[in-house]
Structure 1
Amino acid sequence: MIASLRGLGHEVLVVAPRQSRVEPSESKGTGWVPWLRQKLPRACAELLEFGYSLYAFARLYAAYRRFRPDALYERYNLYTPTGVWLAALTRLPVLLEVNSPMVAERSEHGGLALTALADWTERLSWRSADYVLPVTRALARHVQAKGVPDERIVVIPNGINLSHIPEPVEGARPKLPLGLEGKTVLGFIGFMREWHGLDRVVELLAHPAAPADVHLLLVGDGPARAAIEAQAQALGVADRLTITGFLPHGDVPAYLAAFDIALQPAATEYASPLKLFEYLQAGRAIVAPDQSNIREILTHDRNALLFDLAEPAAFGEAILRLCREPALRERLGNAARATIAELNRTWDNNARQVVALLDQRMEQGNAAAETSLGR
């Protein structure tokens, strides 16, 4: 988004927490912040999160005084209503990107001690922004439930940088450097967690119905990696599994080009998975869960095979069908590639939408000022 805004000729100043110098391969929950959270009572840790927003606001206000921007584009985070505080002080237009309903998410998974404070900061951030930009229509329903008017909610899904994956590469050539020539490659990109369900794919490799040439290529790393490797070893399919570990983003397309079947085994009900757009742009046959946020991008048997989450065997059956039917893989892959252009799901288009919203908001502000002066 930042690169696309700059590409359209706009100046962008990024204000964010200082980046860690720890290498990605070493940053598996280490560092003083996770350690402090583990040691402190949950309520104390959450108070520190909220207290950090005061420091963040001071930095943001200093940046505002130096840069004098026309607008603020902010990515929402819980306990950090800094953008709307700045807007209250300066009348700066605020566009708030929302990737998840963090109160609901943390209540369900990590737990919240200060639920009332968390809910207040979320409502304050969402209701006070000029526009709230959820990444899916499913997520927009969460925003609506917090009292944000429909006219201030604009869904902008994630997208793809077209230059990142300019043209799909077919045939055996992408597989040669990886030692996967002659294999039917099942692929997954991302940070591997237990809830992703990759263990089901490893089980499938050992199933009698799985073709002997099927290989699983996992591009990334994560806390589930050790369990996946142990499972493959126990099932006798370790030689049919490759895990790359962390890679620079620029290296990912070369591995994606080796996929025959791209996997999205699971997704939260409100997410706009970034990997889906890379799969689409690469022109790969996709297997993904049949749920409303996924159907905003994918259509069953048109540009993907969607499986019923209520049917335990459905995920594996969809994969095996694609393994057996190369013509179906090609048809779905071609339609997947066309989807990016059909839906215009690029970061450049997202940036143009953001600029149009800002123009609209600034025109409204000018009109209101003129009306006030006329009176």
Structure 2
Amino acid sequence: MRVLHLLDHSLPLHSGYTFRTRAILKAQIARGWDVAAVTGPRHGDFAEPLEEVEGLRFYRTPVVPPAPAPLGEWREVNRFARRIRKVAREFQPDVLHAHSPVLNAMAGQRAANRLKLPFVYEIRAFWEDAAVGNGDGREGSMKYRATRALETRAVKKADAVAVICEGLRCDLIRRGIDPAKIFVSPNGVDLTLFGEPLPYDSGLAKTLGIEGAETIGFIGSFYDYEGLDVLIDAMPQLVAWRPNMHLVLVGGGPCEAALRAQAGASPVADRIHFIGRVPHHEVERYYSVVDVLVYPRKRMRLTDLVTPLKPLEAMAQMRLVAASDVGGHRELIRDGDTGTLFRPDDPRALARAVAGLFADRDHWEARRARGRAFVEAERNWSLNVGRYESVYQKLANIAPVKDSWTKGAVKA
């Protein structure tokens, strides 16, 4: 099986998007498949048109000069489609597999039509909802509706559609998409890369000023929808109930300056520690010094429909997890079993749930073990990747793949 993936961006950039991609590609290679990827113009600058990162091949597409919407996007799609066709003629895949956003699907579908190749479109989040979550859009606006229409059109044209969770699958079915063409490829953890938890790093804890403290934390990107302002607002109450409580925030993002200002004005500012971004290979050290990872996502379409990756990483690291009771978290966390859920957008509810966890230490080890077992059994990429196999095989067997290469009739 030869699969060409079509991506917005990739390693060496670090994001939840690139880490999921890395897990998929490595797991497919481990199954003996020949796998490569093409990144679109939004990946940015690159050193070589073909780069190898961590043993993975990434073909690059040149950046498109800025232009007003929708002209800029139209140019991006055209350039990406041409690059995909060129790479495909060299790589000769059995399947083209595009990953959201929808611009990638549009470029990939054009290439697939020209090359007579089967086309899979994988949605990690709806682009229109992601824009709202990032503060770049408004639900129900003309741009929102237009983007949603493009997404629906792309899904209808694809031969098969992968989604990362049931929330996205159900939304597509409500749009009239045939359920038979949709399959779920859930977020997971590559346990070969993010495997055994490290022992408590007392040296790091001492450096951070949290040695011997009760610690909660967040490791990830600082977007508004993550609700970190709610977490900071909860800290005075948490410290009142648990006087030895500290909050560790690892990462960065668009909201970092506002969150730092909010924390600086808090009456418990000395208990809130901003670490900044850390190299990915050091992340496990920070997991080792945090007792409870907290994910206070705000309630909106994005968080109700999409499952995050970070709670799974925390469970894999044998950390306790507390998260807001939104749809994306409910797909991952069984309240009172593998984690704790609390009412979203409510600092006091967050504080009450977290304080309750620290008052119940006798059950920590059992809960940690159940969280880890859940990841191993249901969210392990070495198992999850098998969901693609039957879909690829069915599509590759149906499509006249070999003819499209032997005829040599396709032009750039």
TM-score past 0.5 threshold? yes
3-state SS in 1 of match to 2:113: helix
Equivalent runs, 1:279-298 vs 2, <5 Å:
279-298=314-333
Alignment partner of 1:192 out of 208, 222, 226:
222
3-state SS in 1 of match to 2:247: strand
Equivalent runs, 1:237-276 vs 2, <5 Å:
237-266=268-297, 268-276=303-311
What is the Cα deviation at residue 188 of structure 1?
A: 0.5
Cα distance in 1 between the residues matched to 2:269 and 2:149: 49
What is the Cα deviation at residue 118 of structure 1?
A: 3.2
Cα distance in 2 between the residues matched to 1:332 and 1:243: 28
C-alpha RMSD over aligned residues = 2.8
Cα distance in 2 between the residues matched to 1:327 and 1:171: 19
Cα distance in 2 between the residues matched to 1:319 and 1:52: 46
Alignment partner of 1:146 out of 168, 175, 180:
175
Cα distance in 2 between the residues matched to 1:223 and 1:309: 21
What is the Cα deviation at residue 76 of structure 1?
A: 2.0
Q: 2:307·2:331 contact (CA, 8 Å) conserved in 1?
A: no
Could you tell me which amino acid in structure 2 is paired with residue 97 of structure 1? Answer: E
Q: 1:186·1:216 contact (CA, 8 Å) conserved in 2?
A: yes
Match in the other structure for 1:99: 124
Match in the other structure for 2:385: 351
Match in the other structure for 1:69: 93
Cα distance in 1 between the residues matched to 2:40 and 2:274: 31
Q: Deviations over 1:292-314 (max 9, x none)?
A: 33222210100001112376632
What is the Cα deviation at residue 287 of structure 1?
A: 0.6
Could you tell me which amino acid in structure 2 is paired with residue 209 of structure 1? Answer: A
Q: 1:94·1:131 contact (CA, 8 Å) conserved in 2?
A: yes
Match in the other structure for 1:16: 39
Match in the other structure for 1:163: 192
Cα distance in 2 between the residues matched to 1:311 and 1:73: 40
TM-score by length of 2: 0.77
Match in the other structure for 1:220: 251
Q: 1:191·1:221 contact (CA, 8 Å) conserved in 2?
A: yes
Cα distance in 1 between the residues matched to 2:90 and 2:178: 33
What is the Cα deviation at residue 114 of structure 1?
A: 5.0
Could you tell me which amino acid in structure 2 is paired with residue 206 of structure 1? Answer: P
**CA 58–247 in structure 1, closer or farther in 2 if over 3 Å, else same:** same
3-state SS in 1 of match to 2:110: helix
**CA 187–312 in structure 1, closer or farther in 2 if over 3 Å, else same:** closer
Alignment partner of 1:206 out of 211, 214, 236:
236
Equivalent runs, 1:331-346 vs 2, <5 Å:
331-343=366-378, 345-346=379-380
**CA 328–106 in structure 1, closer or farther in 2 if over 3 Å, else same:** same
Which range is displaced more, 255-264 or 241-250? 241-250
Q: Deviations over 1:167-224 (max 9, x none)?
A: 2245564634544220111011111123322223223332253322211111101122
Match in the other structure for 2:335: 300
What is the Cα deviation at residue 254 of structure 1?
A: 1.1
Q: 1:164·1:253 contact (CA, 8 Å) conserved in 2?
A: no
Q: Deviations over 1:199-255 (max 9, x none)?
A: 232233322533222111111011222222222222243322222212222211111
Between structures 1 and 2, the one with greater strand share:
2
Could you tell me which amino acid in structure 1 is paired with residue 100 of structure 2? Answer: Y
- Percent identical among aligned pairs is 26
Cα distance in 1 between the residues matched to 2:155 and 2:307: 19
Which consecutive residues of structure 1, in runs of 5 or more, have no partner in the other structure? 23-32, 370-375
**CA 175–337 in structure 1, closer or farther in 2 if over 3 Å, else same:** farther
What is the Cα deviation at residue 163 of structure 1?
A: 2.4
Cα distance in 2 between the residues matched to 1:310 and 1:239: 24
What is the Cα deviation at residue 257 of structure 1?
A: 1.5
What is the Cα deviation at residue 62 of structure 1?
A: 0.7
Cα distance in 2 between the residues matched to 1:56 and 1:121: 17
Equivalent runs, 1:22-61 vs 2, <5 Å:
44-61=68-85
TM-score by length of 1: 0.84
Match in the other structure for 1:373: none
Could you tell me which amino acid in structure 1 is paired with residue 261 of structure 2? Answer: A
**CA 205–338 in structure 1, closer or farther in 2 if over 3 Å, else same:** same
Asked if 1:7 corresponds to 2:42, the answer is: no
Cα distance in 1 between the residues matched to 2:346 and 2:354: 14
Cα distance in 2 between the residues matched to 1:270 and 1:45: 27
**CA 8–102 in structure 1, closer or farther in 2 if over 3 Å, else same:** same
Q: 1:284·1:329 contact (CA, 8 Å) conserved in 2?
A: no
What is the Cα deviation at residue 116 of structure 1?
A: 6.5
3-state SS in 2 of match to 1:303: coil
Which range is displaced more, 109-118 or 51-60? 109-118
Could you tell me which amino acid in structure 1 is paired with residue 227 of structure 2? Answer: G
Q: 1:127·1:147 contact (CA, 8 Å) conserved in 2?
A: no
Aligned length: 350
Q: 1:221·1:243 contact (CA, 8 Å) conserved in 2?
A: no
Which consecutive residues of structure 2, in runs of 5 or more, have no partner in the other structure? 1-23, 47-62, 404-412
Q: 2:337·2:370 contact (CA, 8 Å) conserved in 1?
A: yes
Q: 1:46·1:114 contact (CA, 8 Å) conserved in 2?
A: no
Q: 2:118·2:399 contact (CA, 8 Å) conserved in 1?
A: no
What is the Cα deviation at residue 146 of structure 1?
A: 3.2
What is the Cα deviation at residue 356 of structure 1?
A: 2.7
Could you tell me which amino acid in structure 2 is paired with residue 11 of structure 1? Answer: D
Cα distance in 2 between the residues matched to 1:309 and 1:63: 46
